[in-house]
């Protein structure tokens, strides 16, 4: 049996020998989130306000989001190597810029009839950077595209929209469908006595559809709180900065020495699992803070906070404080899952 992400996080946190959750740091994050809510920085509207994301009015929006998340992984650069950039964007936004550029150039990049047969040279052109630096894991991305496209053509009439419709407005149903049908989304590992899961890209895919359509229409999920945060390599960096997680001396030494962690190693699993556990605790802490704030100030504050919005806020926080966070190490694992 595979433990789903929330249960995986609890089990990993209980067993962890390399990563530890710090309650005071959890409160620090919760207060930062509360301030973000007060300042209007946390909103489901943030997704559509990004210039590189599809508009909910775009008939291809769902398939566009599917492509983005099928390729949303491993953008970090080796030490002393230049970053892959597109239109001066880095990381995930470089991917978004490349996809939008391809669409503007008339490439049917969101059509599985096209990407199920995409060649390496076509992908190389679509993801060409501003310099000679290429997108990492190009061959793996080509395979992910081909495999995903074939599944959509063979089982879902050539559109991810049909997967969403079959979920009956359930985030859990859609998540399970994604990880069952699309191999590259099977973000799992063996840890101690259990098979654990993180499903980073699959959860983002569901969360992005929810955010794009503001929780309405095809983006309406009655159980959106089923999703956790999206365990990557950046959110742990922020949690370390806030003191919400602590690393063993041995692990910290590895990260400071820029030693790669193997996908599926205990250390990597514990970083990701404890990160999910922290955000779950932050979520409940924020809900308590909101209730107290409303009582004390006799003032309404939007309180439908969830792990997706907290993840978005922290991810944007890192971009806003990039220079300040440069000294905080983050783990590097080269894989297709994040």
The residues that are catalytic are: 232
d(CA 246, CA 271): 10
CA distance to 153, 198, 214, per residue, from 179 (Å): 17, 11, 24
List the Cα angle 183/188/191 in 5-degree steps. Answer: 155
């Amino acid at each position: 049996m595979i433990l789903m992400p929330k249960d995986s996080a609890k089990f990993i946190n209980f067993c962890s020998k390399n990563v530890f959750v710090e309650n005071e740091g959890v409160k620090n994050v919760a207060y930062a989130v509360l301030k973000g809510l007060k300042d209007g920085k946390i909103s489901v509207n943030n997704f559509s306000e990004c210039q590189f994301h599809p508009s909910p009015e775009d008939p291809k929006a769902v398939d566009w989001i599917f492509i983005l998340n099928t390729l949303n992984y491993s953008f970090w650069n080796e030490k002393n190597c230049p970053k892959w950039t597109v239109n001066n964007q880095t990381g995930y936004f470089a991917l978004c810029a490349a996809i939008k550029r391809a669409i503007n150039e008339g490439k049917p990049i969101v059509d599985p009839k096209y990407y199920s047969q995409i060649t390496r040279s076509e992908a190389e052109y679509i993801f060409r950077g501003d310099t000679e630096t290429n997108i990492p894991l190009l061959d793996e991305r080509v395979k992910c595209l081909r495999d995903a496209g074939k599944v959509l053509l063979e089982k879902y009439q050539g559109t991810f929209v049909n997967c969403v419709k079959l979920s009956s407005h359930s985030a859990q149903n859609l998540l399970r469908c994604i990880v069952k049908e699309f191999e590259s989304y099977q973000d799992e590992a063996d840890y101690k006595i259990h098979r654990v899961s993180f499903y980073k890209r699959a959860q983002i895919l569901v969360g992005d559809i929810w955010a794009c359509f503001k929780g309405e229409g095809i983006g309406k999920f009655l159980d959106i709180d089923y999703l956790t945060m999206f365990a990557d390599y950046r959110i742990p960096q922020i949690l370390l900065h806030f003191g919400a997680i602590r690393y063993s001396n041995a692990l910290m030494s590895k990260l400071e020495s820029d030693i790669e962690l193997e996908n599926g190693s205990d250390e990597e699993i514990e970083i990701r699992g404890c990160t999910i556990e922290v955000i779950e605790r932050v979520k409940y802490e924020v809900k308590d803070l909101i209730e107290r704030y409303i009582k004390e100030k006799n003032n309404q504050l939007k309180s439908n906070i969830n792990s997706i919005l907290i993840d978005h806020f922290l991810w944007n926080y890192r971009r806003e404080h990039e220079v300040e966070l440069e000294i905080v190490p983050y783990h590097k694992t080269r894989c297709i899952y994040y």
